[in-house]
Amino acid sequence: DAGITQSPRHKVTETGTPVTLRCHQTENHRYMYWYRQDPGHGLRLIHYSYGVKDTDKGEVSDGYSVSRSKTEDFLLTLESATSSQTSVYFCAISRQGYEQYFGPGTRLTVT
Amino acid sequence: QQQVKQSPQSLIVQKGGISIINCAYENTAFDYFPWYQQFPGKGPALLIAIRPDVSEKKEGRFTISFNKSAKQFSLHIMDSQPGDSATYFCAASSIGNQFYFGTGTSLTVIP
């Protein structure tokens, strides 16, 4: 998985609780991305980063925030989890903004 | 509005046959068109990609055909094998900007 780890790999949480997912890379790539994958929707971009402290919104950013204080770490936070955020979350990295390499994913269930 | 439309949703092919998956896009600013392969429980893996300055790119049994005027591109898998059974996603992007993925095609290759 191209030097990308995601933690946790599985999480079950209750509605209304905050949740933080972590993506860690050892490739020193500039770009990092958070996607969610849902049946019938494919992969949809939540947020992405083009450098330390530089982030931008994707097409489904509502209810999510991100932070990137180091090149190797990109955090995704659900401030108050809802059942609609039950999904599989993938982190991806890219050196130049083209080829993306994906992590193993985090399966999040909000009850 | 879906930026990239992918078809078919599912495909069944006999071993040795040709698998064809199609995608269409609207945004003429897109200049990078990758295909990803995903096995159950794994993250998507980059399979092959094309830029709009060429009409075809081949890597082994996988070929992308690109029609700029029609704003369409397709993945051809020659001599399909049971090990090719997976979900395939097309995507489109312009450098440094967000990727838009198709909704995926579930390919089953029957021995």
For the stretch A73-108, pLDDT in tens is 999 999 999 999 999 999 999 988 888 999 999 999
Distance CA(B18)–CA(B73), nearest Å, equals 16
B96: confidence class by pLDDT, cuts 50, 70, 90 = low
Q: Which residues of B touch A31 (CB under 8 A)?
A: 96
Q: Chain A residue with minimal CA distance to B103?
A: A42
Report yes or no: B45 at the A interface, CB cutoff 8 Å. yes
What confidence tens digit (pLDDT) does each residue in B30-56 have?
999 999 999 999 999 999 999 989 999
Instruction: Report whether pLDDT(B24) > 90.
Output: yes
Residue of A nearest to B90 (CA): A42
Nearest residue, CB atoms, A101 vs list B46, B91, B100:
B46
Q: How far is Cα B23 from Cα B91, in angstroms, rounded to an integer?
A: 8
Residues A88, A29: Cα–Cα separation, whole Å: 23
Question: For residue A90, which phi and psi values (nearest 5 degrees)?
Answer: -120, 140
Contact B101 A33 (CB under 8 A): no
Residue B63 has pLDDT above 70, yes or no: yes
Q: Following DSSP, what letter does each residue of A40-56 receive, concatenated?
A: TTEEEEEEEEEETTEEE
- Return the residue matching tokens 């999510």: A64
User: Residue with structure tokens 């055909």?
Assistant: B65
Arithmetic mean of pLDDT over chain B = 94
* Calpha distance B29→B32 (Å, rounded): 9
Residues of A in contact with B102 (CB under 8 A): 42
Looking at the predicted structure, is the pLDDT value of residue A2 above 80? no
Answer for the pair B59, B51: CB distance below 8 angstroms, yes or no: no
Contacts of B6 in chain A (CB under 8 A): 42
Q: B22 and B103 in contact (C-beta within 8 Å)?
A: no
Cis omega (within 30 of 0) for bond into B52: no
